[in-house]
Structure 1
């Protein structure tokens, strides 16, 4: 699958995914709906990710917390993720490390799951973190989300600790990290 990368809104629809930076013209209500729908299967299992119930204002803040990427197919939002630089104020020591960049709000809309878009988006995040001088890429996810943990492990991550975001969530999270120089996408 070919990935078109741009820094502006794609004006002509195509079946090729277009990956670009978030713009002020993006529809935050639609992006919030994408996030809610992508995390709905986790909510059905009783996991209360922040993404399952965040407001449009929360979406705006989370996307503004770093470099927000949006993937579109035929004018539909297909995926999104935010790459964050080191966070000196984070309660999580790993995220405060000056060599660690992190991923948040990573999701693929249900109609587009299984097409490899998540892996394409992740590859772009790794490349951008590497270009920014990061040594490590990190993320967190629900400890009971075994399928997500396995997917991240297949991309070169390993569990390196735990964190707790309650009351925004209802579970303990695992912290995962990988080298940006790792061969795994």
Structure 2
């Protein structure tokens, strides 16, 4: 089976009540393991299921479902839920986060489908800007987001993080 054929049954859907937060947390740990190996202490590297649940309460979680298995996730936070830096405090800026894909599926379009889905949701909600942050040193991620139309806004230094973040944003207007 080719990569394209394998992913034809991939669907993007909201996280359902019956979905396991523990399994989602384990997925995030696997998705962020490569970044942890580079020395980046993202929250999703080792967060507990309780932290995952808490982060989900502030927004809407969408998952990539492949034949009944969650293989990716992304959080959408409406304006007013981002906070922590001047750009996130803008009342017209929504945010994405807690974005991860199973390592064996990274680079195969799953993340792009999740991102496209959230951007479409944001447009339907009348959001004009969608922002995110990632480690400045994760240059492969910064470059990917730039190819997806995101632009540099500012830097942020989050409490407890060993890296400086870049805030990137995309106009949806």
- What is the TM-score with the length of structure 1 in the denominator? 0.86
Aligned length: 169
Distance 2:135 2:56 in 1: 20
> Which residue number in structure 2 is paired with residue 51 of structure 1?
44
> Of residues 45, 63, 68 in structure 1, which corresponds to 2:56?
63
> Which residue number in structure 1 is paired with residue 124 of structure 2?
131
- 8 A Cα contact 1:15 1:74, kept in partner: no
Distance 2:67 2:81 in 1: 39
SS in structure 2 at match of 1:93? coil
Query: Once the 2 structures are TM-superposed, how far is the Cα of residue 111 of structure 1 from its aligned partner?
Result: 2.2
Distance 1:40 1:103 in 2: 20
Residues 121-160 of structure 1, C-alpha deviations (whole Å, 9 max, x = no match): 1111111111111111100000100000000000001111
> Which residue number in structure 2 is paired with residue 5 of structure 1?
none
Distance 2:16 2:55 in 1: 14
Distance 1:126 1:46 in 2: 29
- 8 A Cα contact 2:12 2:113, kept in partner: no
> Of residues 149, 171, 174 in structure 1, which corresponds to 2:166?
174
- What is the TM-score with the length of structure 2 in the denominator? 0.92
SS in structure 2 at match of 1:63? helix
Counterparts of residues 95-134 of structure 1 (less than 5 Å): 95-134=88-127
SS in structure 1 at match of 2:83? coil
Task: Extract structure 1 runs of 4+ deviating beyond 4 A.
Answer: none
Q: CA RMSD in A?
A: 1.7
Distance 2:70 2:30 in 1: 12
> Which residue number in structure 1 is paired with residue 140 of structure 2?
147
Structure 1, unmatched stretches of 5+, are 3-13
> Which residue number in structure 2 is paired with residue 80 of structure 1?
73
Structure 2, unmatched stretches of 5+, are none
